[in-house]
Structure 1
């Protein structure tokens, strides 16, 4: 079966969906990556995947430009001879669902968070919700990464409940992300690490303000940031402001890395004060490496952290609440912090293994493939959905 795997960047596909794509190849499927091009295109090709470039502005809202993007995507899918499209990231989920109408190509979108339109109410929110109804109407299944998002879609009647399912995020490779015997050996300071895009919606303003508060009380605490400045995102942090944060010494910037494990191993705790997530990969990876996590009590984030057991939950958009949670962690005995990390590793092993995600996709695709073969034998449409 020829399968298109589509997202808003080759970076995303390489870092978050490469294991799935390799699993599909091993199962005998023809897998094509479709995304806006970036420097990870060559990395995908080196893994043996064909890549088709898609021109897309991830945060664009110009109606004419977006219509052209939609038509280009439809043409790409129509000409590719695909039987199935697996889609990821909000805009790609929406646009692919719209583009596929009438093409006879099956669709399995993965809702990994609801995007900015569900965080910030506007006229665009109303429009997008209506478009979701149309886009997901013909989807074979709609997979959600947390129950809050699934419940919201069902409450708004955006999807058919019979065709929804739940995944544990994108899963985490438990062998690749595992505790290191040598991690966190220093005694002179504690490190609180933020991993993610440096944008307001990830709670970076609250992280920096909490850092100021905590460092006034506990100067030995070091706050680190690992991740890119996303200058194309509407909730951008200006480079000038970010430079001021770093120059003032309130945070230390580690830059960008394809391998976050050394930074996690060095840290004592990973903090992500995001406003809303699917299931945050950074927290899964940190917990898999037996690191306690501090995050907000919002959809997606609270799925990873059991308050007081493998980390702490704080209020969203509140630097004071985040600072309180960090101070709770800092004041814990070292043995208690290690026990908190151990519980996090066990939770990830039980609930968030990458194997769960891969087996779910393989099972759904096998059901769809079997349905296609049965439909072909009986002369019915190959895109008929199972009930």
Structure 2
């Protein structure tokens, strides 16, 4: 079977979908990758995949502008003639599905998260909901990454329940993120891994740090992730530079391998406004780290309050600061237990093997 995988960045394919791609090829499927071209595209090609570039802006939502994607993807699908298409992220899910429907190519979609457009109610949000409702008449299967998104789509009648199911995110290769022996830093270290955009709760993290420092708390506060000032919700470079220059945070830049930074941290923090199933938290949990995150869809899938971390209120820097202080005030035994619980939870619920198995089963059910 010829399987196409469509995503909004080559980076996303290379970092999160290569395990699935490997499994597909081991099961004698031919894999086509369709994504915007970036520095990771060549790495995908080097693995032996047939790669086709597409123009797609992953930063913003402009339904009128993005409508042209239908015709571009239609051209690629008509040329490559896949037997089935796996769509991920909002734009491939909507515009890719509509393009595939014109060619009568079956699709399996994955709602990785609802994105910025659903955080603010307005005309764009209404258009997006309408586009989902139109597009999701056609998939053979739609996977969601958490119960909240699944229930929202069913409640709003955006998708038929009989074709819908829930997956544990993109899954995590637990062997690639091993649990290392517990070791606490002399200076407790918090790490936020995220693009520097508002919706990830970066401002709340900074405000919480300022509150903790004003109380005399001596800890290390780090951020690892790309600056993205061109994003509609991106944080301006001059603001980030001010944080760095005033020593509010230690900015670690970007990396192709987050493990070295996760392993050196005592606690991973993500005060995000909403997620599908956040990859960074899966990586942290697999590495046996305790977590502080917001009590919102996606984050509370991975973090169970007072089991493997603490959950804080949405957009509350005060509550975030309180939970961060509570974390660093725990004794070594409790922090180590939280870390072990994180690892156990990931192994049981979020292993990449679970995700891959479900996709392979779904392909068999298509009977192509």
TM-score when normalising by structure 2: 0.97
Distance 1:122 1:12 in 2: 28
Which digits, 9 at most, give the CA deviation of each residue in 1:263-305, with x for residues without a partner? 0000000000000000001011101111000100100100001
Q: Residue 199 of structure 2: which of 198, 201, 204 is its match?
A: 201
Aligned pair in 2 of structure 1 residues 348, 47: CA closer, same or farther (>3 Å)?
same
SS in 2 for 1:220: coil
Could you say which residue in structure 1 is the equivalent of 2:170? 170
Give the alignment of 1:1-387 within 5 angstroms. Answer: 1-61=1-61, 65-181=65-181, 184=183, 186-187=185-186, 189-368=187-366, 371-372=367-368
SS in 1 for 2:190: strand
The answer to whether the 8 Å contact 1:60/1:66 transfers is no
SS in 1 for 2:67: helix
Distance 1:233 1:262 in 2: 27
Distance 1:132 1:193 in 2: 35
SS in 2 for 1:365: helix
Once the two structures are TM-superposed, the CA of residue 78 in structure 1 deviates from its matched residue by 1.6
Distance 2:133 2:70 in 1: 17
Which runs of no fewer than 5 residues in structure 2 stay unpaired?
none
Aligned pair in 2 of structure 1 residues 290, 42: CA closer, same or farther (>3 Å)?
same
The answer to whether the 8 Å contact 1:278/1:299 transfers is yes
Aligned pair in 2 of structure 1 residues 219, 55: CA closer, same or farther (>3 Å)?
same
Which digits, 9 at most, give the CA deviation of each residue in 1:168-199, with x for residues without a partner? 11111111101123x64532x00000011110
Distance 1:162 1:185 in 2: 48
Aligned pair in 2 of structure 1 residues 288, 44: CA closer, same or farther (>3 Å)?
same
The answer to whether the 8 Å contact 2:69/2:96 transfers is no
Distance 2:359 2:230 in 1: 31
Matched residue count: 368
Distance 1:313 1:94 in 2: 32
The answer to whether the 8 Å contact 1:184/1:267 transfers is no
Distance 1:67 1:366 in 2: 32
Distance 1:305 1:68 in 2: 39
Distance 1:70 1:44 in 2: 24
Once the two structures are TM-superposed, the CA of residue 69 in structure 1 deviates from its matched residue by 2.5
Distance 1:69 1:283 in 2: 32
What is the CA RMSD across the aligned residues, in angstroms?
1.2
Runs of 4+ in 1 over 4 A off after TM superposition: 60-64
SS in 1 for 2:143: strand
Distance 1:258 1:48 in 2: 20
Distance 2:348 2:203 in 1: 33
TM-score when normalising by structure 1: 0.93
Q: State which drifts further: 149-158 or 112-121.
A: 112-121
The answer to whether the 8 Å contact 1:206/1:318 transfers is yes
SS in 1 for 2:343: helix
SS in 2 for 1:100: helix
